[in-house]
Structure 1
Amino acid sequence: MDGAANGKDDARDGLKRRADSTEAPSRRKRRLPARSLPLESYLVGWIVALDDELTAALAMLDEQHAEPEDFEQPQNDTNTYRWGHIGAGLNYHNIVIASLPGVYGIASAATTAKEMSISHPHIRFGLLVGIGAGVPRPDHDVRLGDIVVSRPLGTSGGVIQYDLVKAKTTGSELTGHLAAPPAALQKAAMSLASHHALEDSEIPEIIEEVFEKRPKLAKSGQWAYPKSERDRLSAETYLRSGSEISLAEDRTDAEGDVVREGRKTLCPEIHLGIIGSGDTLVKDIAQRESILQRLPAECLCLEMEAAGLMNAFPCLVIRGICDYGDSRKNDKWQKYAALAAAAYAKDLLDSMKVREVSRTPKAVAALKAQSQ
Structure 2
Amino acid sequence: MIKVLILDDSPEKVGIIKKFLKDECNIDEQFVDERQTIKEGRKILYEKDYDLLLLDLVMPRDAESEPSADESIKFLDEIYFNSEIHIPVHIIGFSQFDELILSHTDSFDDKLWHLITFSYSNNSWKDKLKNKICHLISVKNRFKESIEARSKFDIGIICALETPELKEVLELPCNWKTFELENDPNVYHEGTISTLNGNSYRLIACSINKMGMQATASVSSMLIAKFKIKYLFMTGICAGVKEGDINFGDIVIGENLTDYGSGKMTEGSSGEFIFKPEPHQFPTDQNLISKINNFIRNNKELIAIQTSYKGTQSTTVLKAKIGPVASGSYVVASKNLVESIAEPNRKLLAIDMEGYGLYLACHYFNQTKALFIKSVCDFGDIKKNDTYQAYAAYTSARFLNSFVINMM
- Give the TM bin, normalised by the shorter chain: 0.5 to 0.7
Q: Shift in Å at residue 185 of structure 1?
A: 1.9
Asked whether the equivalents of residues 178 and 188 of structure 2 are also in contact (C-alpha less than 8 Å), the reply is: no
The answer to whether residue 257 in structure 2 is matched with residue 159 in structure 1 is: yes
1:61 partnered with 2:159:
no
Q: Is the 8 A contact 2:263 2:275 kept in 1?
A: no
Residue 144 of structure 1 pairs with residue 227 of structure 2: no
Partner of 1:287: 337
- Name the TM-score, length of structure 1 as normaliser: 0.60
2:210 paired with 1:99: no
For 1:225 and 1:203, the matched residues in 2 are separated by 16
Match of 1:132 among 235, 238, 256: 238
More strand by share: 2
Per-residue CA distance 1:47-97 (angstroms, 9 max, x = gap): 001221111111123322464xxxx8352x322210112234524322100
Could you tell me the percent identity over the aligned residues? 25
Contact 1:188 1:351 in 2 (8 A): no
* AA partner of residue 279 (structure 1): S
How far apart in 1 are the matches of 2:170 and 2:353?
22
Kindly provide the CA deviation profile for residues 97-143 of structure 1, in whole angstroms up to 9, marking residues without a partner as x.
0210x32111111111011112212x112001110011117xx7101
**For residue 372 of structure 2, what is the aligned residue in structure 1?**
317
Seen in structure 2, the aligned counterparts of structure 1 residues 99 and 171 have a Cα distance that, compared at 3 Å, is closer
Deviation at 1:310, TM superposition (A): 0.7
**1:126–1:316 contact (8 Å) kept in structure 2:** yes
How far apart are the structure 2 equivalents of 1:40 and 1:103?
25
Listed as ranges, the gaps of 5+ residues in structure 2 are: 1-147, 269-273, 363-368
Tell me which residue corresponds to 2:194. Answer: 87
Structure 1, unaligned runs of 5 or more: 1-36, 152-157, 210-222, 232-261, 354-372
How far does the alpha carbon of each residue in 1:250-285 deviate from its partner, in whole angstroms, 9 at most, with x for none? Answer: xxxxxxxxxxxx75xx4x111111111111201122
**Cα distance in 1 between the residues matched to 2:232 and 2:346:** 26
Corresponding letter in the other structure for 1:302: I
Q: Any runs of at least 4 consecutive aligned residues in structure 1 with deviations exceeding 4 A, and if so which?
A: 167-171, 206-209
Seen in structure 2, the aligned counterparts of structure 1 residues 191 and 87 have a Cα distance that, compared at 3 Å, is same
Using structure 2 for the length normalisation, give the TM-score.
0.55
Residue matched to 2:401: 346
Structure with higher Rg: it is 2
Which residue pairs with 1:44 in the alignment? 155
Output the CA distance in 2 between the equivalents of 1:79 and 1:166. Answer: 35
Partner of 2:290: 187
Aligned-pair CA distance for 1:171: 7.4
- Spell out the pairing of 1:124-273 with structure 2 (5 A cutoff): 124-136=230-242, 141-151=245-255, 158-166=256-264, 172-178=276-282, 180-193=283-296, 195-196=297-298, 200-206=299-305, 224-226=310-312, 263=316, 266=317, 268-273=318-323
Q: Note the aligned Cα RMSD (angstroms).
A: 2.8
Partner Cα distance (1:347, 1:53) in 2: 17
| CA separation of 1:206 and 1:175: change in aligned 2, threshold 3 A | closer
Q: CA deviation at 1:296?
A: 0.4
Return closer, same or farther for 1:65/1:41 CA change in 2, 3 Å cut-off.
farther
Q: Which has the higher contact order (CA 8 A, sep 6+)?
A: 1
> 2:56 corresponds to which residue?
none
Is the alpha carbon distance of 1:184 and 1:81 closer, same or farther for their aligned partners in structure 2, counting shifts above 3 Å? farther
Is this contact kept in 2: 1:127–1:318, CA < 8 A? yes
Q: When the two structures are aligned, how many residues end up with a matched partner? A: 248
